[in-house]
Amino acid sequence: MLLSSTLPKIFLTGCLVFFAAPQSKVVAQDSKKQPSTSKPVKQLILPGESFLVDQRPAFIMWPDESKRQTPQPWVLYSPTLPRYPDQNEKWIHEQFLNAGVAVAGIDVGEAYGSPEGQKHFSALYKELTENRGFAKRACLLGRSRGGLWSSSWAISYPERVSGLAGIYPVFDLTTYPGLKRAAPAYGLTESELNAALNKYNPIAKIDELAKADIPVFIIHGDIDKVVPLKENSAELANRYKKLGQGKLVNLIVVEGQGHNLWQGFFHCQPLVDFAIDRALAGAKNDFSFLPDQTSLPVAPPKDAVVLLSPTENLFLGREGTKSDWPNENGVVTSTRGGSNMNHLVSQYHFRDADIHVEFMLPPKGSGNSGIYIHGNYELQILNTHDKDEITMNDMGALYGFSKALVNAARPPGEWQVYDIRYRAPRRDNKGKITKPGSVTAFLNGQKVQDETKFEEARSTFHPYRHGVTSYLKKIGKRQKMTMTGPVFLQDHNNAVKFRNVWVVPLDDQSQLYRAD
């Protein structure tokens, strides 16, 4: 496919934007207002300001005041070295500013994606998001070795990233700059870095970006000898594809071009459009998770696994046998089993997933129930309609962790809906949590949890502690080992109805569970 009749042949497979970068307490100098006797911290190719963060040179190239927004969409550029960004990139950055997108960067020196460099990236991020009104998610743009800067930080902080873009970006530090040159930046010897590549080399951990749904756009020449296509951009695309996330990557391969200043690399409209789109999306909360709850029931998407419908029922009782909950055309009603433990448990297990549940509270009683994710973490169901002050016990709460952001509860007798984006905690081989899980949840069209973090379960009444059966004991043990598990519909002595339950897996770890 040709971008235009005058360009070399181009093949499209995915989407990213990467550039190269340099290094950088905050002393600001506006390039417009700065006295002529004062030397700028950094010379810029477009209007903006330069300042110090962590005693490192940093910069912002600002859109015209009439185009600025709150929060401010932005591109985090790398490498910010003394001569970057340069005049070759000027057209790209002009397009960003014209679209109301700011460009920022920090000179971390020849850090090659090391933890020390990432620390300074995070310092700039904190300055911009906490003190200057920038959006919580940025589109990263890396050119050449800037790809190491951008991808390593994105892998460590995917929740801060709305997209990744690159111009012949490096992802494999063994190809460039090589272990001998990179090792000092990591404070290691060449052999020590070689032994720790699975920990430090971005390409070895690029799966984390695919699992976090980070879209990518890259343009790369097919005869690049400095940053070989195969080991870098093509390998990223292949890894996304293996995880079923190939649709998130746009890779433009330019025939007959290497690691050079060919104008097509720096006047690539699809790359610019991608970066602008992702920067604008990053200024929206939960840009990748905005469920439509306007009309119920909500039809499951094509990639959903339906757990409960008029034709499907993938729920069992807590003994692993058929449930005694009445089922009328796909609507099940909670039935007392004694001591509030007659739960339903899905046969389908998952790790990270979007979960959709529709429910109705009975006209009498508290309506107490809940959605136990993996059996450990409960999204509360309770009649709190019109309640003035809500607590951690009320509708929309992640029980034991966080009350709802707003009271979005409807009155009993009306169908209500939860949409939940769940990311499981990660554990090491000893079962210790190494990365907290998170929940973002919408209830009846309003966000009630916003990337709420959690670690070990806090409730003393979850299904692996209260009313445990041999079937649940096996599931609980497996859940701790694999970080995969079912969704439970809770019995709490109220005739709550449920319908239209489905999940959309966010990775390749889901499966239909069989006890034996």
Which pair of structure tokens corresponds to residue 391? Answer: 């607590």
Distance CA 272, CA 316 (A): 50
What are the C-alpha distances in Å from 282 to residues 71, 104, 136, 310? 9, 15, 7, 38
Q: What is the mean pLDDT of residues 165-180?
A: 97
In angstroms, the CA 344 to CA 319 distance is 10
Q: Are residues 275 and 367 in the same domain?
A: no
State whether the Cα torsion 461-463-464-470 is positive or negative.
positive
**Token pair 């449930």 is at which residue?**
323
Three-state SS at 63: coil
Per-residue pLDDT for 15 more than 50? Answer: no
> Given pLDDT bands bounded at 50, 70 and 90, which one contains residue 146?
very high
Residue 439 has pLDDT above 90, yes or no: yes
pLDDT at residue 336 in the model: 75
**Alpha helix positions (H), 6-142:** 90-98, 115-131
Are residue 128 and residue 31 in the same domain, yes or no? yes
Q: CA 249, 276, 159, 439: dihedral to nearest 10 degrees?
A: -90
pLDDT value, residue 30: 42
253 and 351 inside one domain:
no
Residues 288-306 pLDDT 10s: 677 889 999 999 998 899 9
DSSP 131-159: HS-B-S-EEEEEETTHHHHHHHHHHH-GG
Is residue 299 situated within a structural domain? no
> How does pLDDT run across 294-342, given as a tens digit for each residue?
999 999 998 899 999 999 999 999 899 999 999 999 999 998 766 667 8
Partners of residue 174 on adjacent β-strands: none
Q: Are 176 and 141 in contact (CB under 8 A)?
A: no
Using a pLDDT cut of 90, give the percent of the chain over it.
Answer: 75
Q: Cβ neighbours of residue 291 under 8 Å, at least 6 residues apart?
A: 298, 354, 356, 419, 442
Expressed as residue numbers, the domain containing 89 is 10-282
In a domain, 2, yes or no: no
Residue 366 has pLDDT above 70, yes or no: yes
The answer to whether residues 367 and 438 belong to one domain is: yes
As a whole number of angstroms, the distance between CA 19 and CA 89 comes to: 10
Confidence class of residue 256 from pLDDT cuts 50, 70 and 90? very high
Residue 72 has pLDDT above 90, yes or no: yes
How much of the chain exceeds pLDDT 70, in percent?
91
* 102 and 166 both lie in a single domain: yes
Distance between CA atoms of 29 and 50, rounded to whole angstroms?
5
Kindly report the pTM of this predicted structure.
Answer: 0.56
Examine the domain organization and report whether 268 and 320 are in the same domain.
no
Q: Name the token pair of 406.
A: 């707003």
Comparing CA positions, the residue from 394, 440, 395, 435 lying closest to residue 421 is: 440
The pLDDT confidence band at residue 8, using thresholds 50, 70 and 90, is: very low
Residue 3 lies in a domain: no
Confidence of residue 14 (pLDDT cuts 50, 70, 90): very low
